[in-house]
Structure 1
Amino acid sequence: MNALYDDPDFLDGYRRLRRSGQAINEPLEIPAMNAALPPVAGARVVDLGCGEGGLAVRLAEAGAADVLAVDASEQMLAAATPHPRLRYQRADLANLDVPPASVDLVVSSMAVHYVEDFDDLVARIARWLVPGGVLVFTMEHPVMTAPVIAADYVVDDYADEGRRERTWFVEGVIKYHRTIGSIVASLHRHGLQVERLDEPVPTSTQVAANPALAIHRRRPPILLISARALELLTGNIG
C-alpha cells in the first residue's frame, strides 16, 4: 500500500470531498463501523490505514487501553489528532507486523482495497489477535472495484480478481478487486469466523435530505465485515 495520500493533488481533492458533505464516510461508513464494533473498554487495538485518526481517537475516547494507529501517509499522520492512549506509526500495511496474541481488536476503515495481498494481511492479523479477538473492517464494495475498465456503476469482470487502475482526483490510483467469496474464504482459512457482513446504503430519509446519496441505493458502495478469532479448545479430547 503506497502513500497515495501524500500526493498533494490527491490529498487536496480528498480533503475537499470530506469537507463538502458529499462523501460516504459520515452518512454511511462511520455509523456502520460504530454499530459493528464490540465494547472497547480496556482493549488493545490496532487501526490499519488510520488516516488522520478519526476512528482511532473514537476508540481511545471510548476507553481502549492502547491504540496503535498505522498509516503509510506522512501527510495524513502529520494532521492526525493526538490522544494519550493513542500511538501513531508510519508503515506500509503490506509488511506491518506486531507481536503475536497481543491485540484484542483490529479495525480498518476503507483501506484494505489498497492492499495487494489481502490473504497475507489476514494471516498476520490472525496472529496478532488473542483467541476471541475481533477484526472489523470496511472496504470499497467489490461491485465497485470489479470493472477492469471503469464504467458508470456497471458490474463487470467480477470474477477476475486483481489490480484495478482508476482516476480518483488523480490518474493511476491503484486498488485491488476481490470477490466477497474470496474475502470470506481468506478469513476462514486463517481461523477468523465471520459474525457480521453488511452493505451499508442510505435510508430514504437520508436521500431526501441529501439527493447526492441516491446513487448509493442503486449499488452498495461499502462492504463491512466483522470476524472473530476462534477460541482455543481446552480440556481433554477423546
Structure 2
Amino acid sequence: MKQNKYDDKEFFSSYSRMPRSLGGLDAAGEWSTLRGMLPDLEGKRVLDLGCGFGWHCRYARQHGALSVLGLDLSENMLQRAREMTDDPAIEYRRSAIEDIDFSEGEFDVVISSLALHYVEDFAGAVRKISRSLAAGGDFILSVEHPVFTALAAQDWHYGPDGEKLHWPLDRYHELGLRNSRFLGSDVIKYHRTVSAYLNALIGGGFDIKELSELTPTEAMLESNPAWAEEVRRPMFFLISAKKRQWSSR
C-alpha cells in the first residue's frame, strides 16, 4: 500500500510545524549519528528516498556530491523542497519508493531517512536499491526502531497519576501493518524485527557496516530533557550498509 498522508492539508500543516521541519537537520535528534555514517560525498551521485523538504539533498551537494536526486510521493513535500533549493545539480521527482526503477549502478550513495517503515515490501525495495547502486556503493537509512513499531499505539504504559511506567512490547515477531496515530491522524506503518531489516539487506547484496539504536549523548540530554525518554527505550534504528563488490548468491 502506497500511502501519501503528506498531501493531506491538515496533516502537512501539522508536520510543517514540527521542530525538524522548521530547524532542518540540526533539529533532528538522530542527524548527528546519521551524518557520521555517511561516506565521503565528494563527486558522488546521490539518491535520497523519501526526501521530504530536501534537507539531505542540499547537505550532500554542500559536501561535494556531483548530483542529487530526491524522490518523494508527496507533491507538498516536493514543492517545499524546490522552494528551498537553488541548485541545478539537485533534481526533485515525484515517485513512491516502491516504484523506483533505475539503471544498474546509476548511483554511488542512497540515503533514506525515516521513510522505509512506510513501505510494505522492504526486501523488494532493498533489491531495487541494490541494483541502482554501483558496486561498493553505500546505503544509509534510518527507520523507527522495531521496539517502537511493534505495537500500533506507540505509547507508554501509564500509572494511576499519569506517570510513564514502562514501554510495552508485544507482538514483536508478528510482522506487518500497524495502524498508528501520528500528528493526530491515522497512519499506516509496517513493523519489522531487527533481524528482518538486516537479513533483507544481507540478502539484497549488502554488507552491514554500522548500526545505531541512537543512545542519547550527554549533550543531547542537556539541550533537550525530553531525550531522557530515549534512554528508556529506543525510537530510532540507523543502518549503514555497503553493496558487495561481488556476490556468491
Q: Same fold (TM over 0.5)?
A: yes
2:193 match: 179
Q: CA deviation at 1:149?
A: 4.6
- Size of the alignment, in residue pairs? 233
1:13 match: 14
Indicate how the Cα distance of structure 1 residues 188 and 84 shifts in structure 2: closer, same or farther if over 3 A, else same. Answer: same
2:159 match: none
1:129-159 residue CA offsets vs partner (Å, 9 max, x unmatched): 1110110000111111001454413221111
1:39 match: 40
Map 1:25-174 to 2 at 5 A.
Answer: 26-80=27-81, 81-82=84-85, 83-152=87-156, 153-174=167-188
CA distance in 2, matches of 1:55, 1:185: 26
Indicate how the Cα distance of structure 1 residues 214 and 132 shifts in structure 2: closer, same or farther if over 3 A, else same. Answer: same
Indicate how the Cα distance of structure 1 residues 219 and 91 shifts in structure 2: closer, same or farther if over 3 A, else same. Answer: same
Map 1:154-233 to 2 at 5 A.
Answer: 154-232=168-246
Q: CA deviation at 1:209?
A: 2.8
**RMSD, matched Cα:** 2.0
- Report SS of the residue matched to 1:106: strand
Indicate how the Cα distance of structure 1 residues 201 and 195 shifts in structure 2: closer, same or farther if over 3 A, else same. Answer: same
- Report SS of the residue matched to 2:180: strand
CA distance in 2, matches of 1:143, 1:29: 16
CA distance in 2, matches of 1:136, 1:128: 14
- Report SS of the residue matched to 2:17: helix
CA distance in 2, matches of 1:156, 1:23: 33
For structure 2, the 5+ residue unaligned runs are 157-166
Q: CA deviation at 1:204?
A: 2.8
- Are the counterparts in 2 of residues 133 and 228 from structure 1 also a CA contact under 8 Å? yes
CA distance in 2, matches of 1:74, 1:22: 21
Q: CA deviation at 1:12?
A: 1.6
Which amino acid in 2 is paired with 1:95? Answer: D
In the superposition, the TM-score normalised over structure 2's length comes to: 0.88
CA distance in 2, matches of 1:65, 1:21: 27
Q: CA deviation at 1:3?
A: 1.6
In the superposition, the TM-score normalised over structure 1's length comes to: 0.92
Q: Report the identity percentage.
A: 36
